[in-house]
Amino acid sequence: MRIVAITVAGLLALAVAGASAQGVNDAQIAHIVVTANQVDIDAGKLAASKGSHAEVKKFGQQMVTDHTGVNKQASELATKLKVKPEDNPTSQSLKEGGQKTMVRLKGLSGAEFDKAYIENEVNYHQAVLDAVDKTLIPGASNAELKALLAKVRPAFVAHLEHAKKIQGSLAK
Amino acid sequence: MPRRSRGRWPSRPRLTAVAVGLGALLGVLGPGATAPSPVTHTVVVEATSFEPATLTVRAGDAVVWANRDPFPHTATSKAFDSSVIPADASWTYTTRARGTFDYVCTLHPTMKGTLRVE
């Protein structure tokens, strides 16, 4: 399952590196933010229902709640700024990577599922943080969009730390 | 007649001023001087952090944790536990025991704060 997680993180890294080279506009950044959150919401929903360890289920539910909250705020800002989120290759890669992860996770159960989901969460949040720091925040031209990204960044760090903590306890 | 009464008694505004002055004096010298009335402090919970991270209050003061993030947080210590504070909601704790209480958000382990009750 290590391969699955690395694949998703790798896809995101490649997609964002490509986006960085081409440059992304605010409409595309808004779309990437919403897509990245949605991918984690979908995985979280699956973990909340299919997870075996109580901490894994709880973490999955929290990812649904937190990333839904971030998406609501991002969508409200896009509406306020009259920015229509624009689909782009990075969003498409994220979506495809997310779908592949879902298919593989659905094929697992019990402790195997828990391990694979949490490993994916660790890698995914690390990859999202890299994208936020290297591409999305530097690329955002609107000050409010940039501020929103900076404001939600610490939540992704907290999720990463939380996922690592659960990963450590699952390994025991 | 109006002239006489003015001479004998202070006019109404002056009486008011005396009353206000006395009240202020009592306020300064009265029980308030040794035990100030409880104050309400606010910790803003935003960008997945507590601001201020360290807050010092007097026992009896109230502390409001105001969540301005779009997702839930908690303020949890050995002495108090907010349980889940939803997005855009707040939780108030009236301090009692004196001491230094380190607290965390149980949902986001990177969030740490300290409440000092004197």
Domain ranges of chain B: 2-33, 40-117
Highest mean pLDDT among A21-25, B9-13, B20-24, B40-44: B40-44
B48 → closest Cβ in A65, A73, A158: A158
Q: Which residues contact A33 (CB under 8 A, 6 or more apart)?
A: A70, A71, A74, A136, A149
Contact A72 B69 (CB under 8 A): no
* pLDDT value at residue B36: 80
Provide the token pair at A37.
């959150």
CATH of A2-171, one of 1.10.3720.10, 3.40.1130.10, 1.10.630.10, 1.20.1260.10: 1.20.1260.10
| B87 pLDDT higher than 50 | yes
Distance (Å, whole) CA A147 – CA B13: 54
Mean pLDDT across chain B: 82
* pLDDT value at residue A114: 98
Q: How far is CA B21 from the centre of its chain?
A: 26
Instruction: Please determine, for the modelled complex, whether the ipTM score is greater than 0.90.
Output: no
Q: Is B49 in CB contact (< 8 Å) with chain A? A: yes
**Distance (Å) from the alpha carbon of A146 to chain B's nearest alpha carbon:** 13
Distance (Å, whole) CA A61 – CA A65: 6
* pLDDT value at residue A111: 97
More confident residue, A170 or B6: A170
A66 → closest Cβ in B49, B71, B111: B71
Q: Please calculate the CA angle A48-A54-A58 and round it to the nearest 5 degrees.
A: 45
Q: For the domain B40-117, what is the CATH superfamily, name and number?
A: Cupredoxins -  blue copper proteins (2.60.40.420)
Residues with pLDDT less than 50, chain A: 1-6, 21
* pLDDT value at residue B33: 54
Domain boundaries, chain A: 2-171
